[in-house]
Homo-oligomer: A and B are copies of this chain.
Amino acid sequence: MSMVYLTRKAEFSASHYYHNPKLSADENLRLFGKCNNPNGHGHNYTLEVTVKGEVNGKSGFVVDLRDVKNIMGREVLDALDHRFLNKEVPEFATAIPTTENLAIAIWQRLEPKMTAAQLHRVRVYETPDLFVDFYGEA
């Protein structure tokens, strides 16, 4: 028995802005700077999804990649790609669509659907120079 970790990357494009309705306009601007512009601005996000499990002797796979691809497409990419996150994705009606909250939301979308192997990590790159990892830790 050998435990391996398999990671698949995907990309999506979305726009967002940062605003907390419980704060004043001044506080929002101080906290979020130019990210507070309500018109929004966009990113090419890169998503890395890692699953963990034992290698199946029959296939040599930890998981069927077509399943991973389908789940990522249906649960995440269809919902987020070419969207304005604040306006079109339910989680961000209340939560601020930071990279941190995006990683958590993606985990919560994927975790119940990953049955063949266990979800281990969600990594989201907002730009090539900034990324967030979430392992499901409370």
Contacts and interface: CB of A to CB of B under 8 A. Distances in A.
A13 interface: yes
Contacts of A97: 60
Q: Which interface class (under 10, 10 to 19, 20 to 34, 35 or more) fits A?
A: 35 or more
B15 A60 contact: no
Main secondary structure of the interface of A (DSSP, over half): mixed
Contact of A42 (B43, B98, B104): B43
Contact of A10 (B11, B18, B100, B129): B129
Copies in the complex: 6
Interface of A: 1-11, 13-16, 18, 20, 22-23, 31-35, 37, 39-44, 55, 58-62, 65-66, 81-84, 87-88, 95-101, 103-104, 127-135, 137-138
16 contacts: A1-B138, A2-B138, A3-B134, A7-B131, A7-B132, A9-B130, A14-B42, A16-B42, A18-B59, A20-B59, A40-B40, A40-B42, A41-B84, A42-B43, A42-B44, A60-B101
